[in-house]
Amino acid sequence: MEKPIIDLGEFDLHFLTESDEGEENDEMSNQEFKEDIESRIPEQTIFLGTFDSEVENWTSWTINDDYYIIPLVNDDFDWALFRITWDDNWGRWELSFDARLKGFKDNHKEASRLIIKKLWTKWNIDLKARENKPWVKFLKEI
């Protein structure tokens, strides 16, 4: 079997567009924005779970990420990972198209773990570090 290819570059999903993000939807409440996005997610999309993390800078705030993976049809890639994120600092929901994977066509769990590990590595999250045990636990529960 070939080594899977993970692309962390920019991409779009046809059912959600960049115009769905934050500031352009100021006319919607935060809850309406999230409900609108969730209503357009295709049935074949798999909800992977919610992960809560804390960002520490000059102050701290909470990030709540709802992770999803969707099989891609008629595409160069087999899977796409996206998130709907609540950013407590900005007080709004955001949509992130994170990564695509080619390989592991029939195994969404393994595809999800591979993509998320690669994404978190890009974010400099060391899964071997003791303080990151909740991140490892999330991966195991997928």
Q: What's the pLDDT score for residue 23?
A: 47
**pLDDT in the model for residue 108:** 93
Q: Give pLDDT, residue 42.
A: 93
Cβ contact 63:53 at 8 Å: yes
Domain span at residue 99 reads 5-141
pLDDT at position 58: 66
Over its length of 142 residues, how does the chain's per-residue pLDDT go in tens digits? 568 899 999 898 888 764 444 444 555 677 788 888 899 999 999 999 999 887 666 667 688 999 999 999 888 899 999 999 988 877 888 889 999 999 877 789 999 999 999 999 999 999 999 989 999 999 999 9
Question: What's the total number of domains in the chain?
Answer: 1
pLDDT of residue 80: 96
**How much is the pLDDT for 1?**
54
The reported pLDDT for the residue numbered 17 is 67
Enumerate the β-bridge partners of residue 67. 49, 83
Rounded to two decimals, the pTM is 0.85
Query: What value does the CA radius of gyration of the chain take, rounded to a whole number of Å?
Result: 15
Give the span between the Cα atoms of 34 and 140, in whole angstroms. Answer: 27
